[in-house]
Amino acid sequence: MKRYIPNLLTIIRIVSVPILFWLMFIIRSDRSIFWAMIVFTFASITDYFDGLLARKFRVITNFGKIMDPVADKLLILIALVAIALPPIKLVSIYIVYIILCREVFVSLLRNFYVRRKIYIPANVWGKVKTVFQMLGIIFALVYYTVLSTLVTKYNTQIRSGFQILFWIIAFITILSGLSYLFTANKKTNRKREKDD
């Protein structure tokens, strides 16, 4: 039974994707954004325990390898677009473009190397990137839904702070993409040396 828990947590995150989209873009009220914050926070917690339990029980499945990052990317991108648009508008839309381009680039690169039977595991930069993105989004949603009305005097400064925070996150995201590229090139060179 234990071996199915990581995949179950991944399925919960996959189900959270359309729910998050519905709350943030279809209903899009202050109350629905509050519930979106709850859904996103819960999904982020399941992501942590998913990886933890998969390593603990030693159950790394093909389903988990494919669907776990897909669920994470969709959740993050939906939430990022939502907090970049009115009425939230805590993030520059250019940050969304940067993160989206990085995800598309790495996905295409991964597919390119897999076809050549070169497999690039997730590294520390990828994990740091995901953690920072999820925490940044949670902080932004908590601020907008709970704290903004309590600290109206400092709203301008806090909003500027979020802009800085997410530019830092964008920089970490770029670094994680470059790190993936360097790792892929190293593995390609090693494979060539073996083939020679």
Q: Residue 138 pLDDT more than 90?
A: yes
Residue 127: pLDDT band with limits 50, 70, 90 = confident
The model's pLDDT over 37-94, given as tens digits with 9 standing for 90+, comes to: 999 999 999 888 877 776 776 766 666 667 788 888 999 999 999 999 998 999 999 9
Closest C-alpha to 162, from 151, 174, 178: 151
pTM assigned to the model? 0.89
Average pLDDT over residues 100-125: 80
Q: Can the peptide bond before residue 69 be classed as cis, meaning omega within 30 degrees of 0?
A: no
Calpha distance 43→171 (Å, rounded): 24
List of domains in the chain? 2-195 (1.20.120.1760)
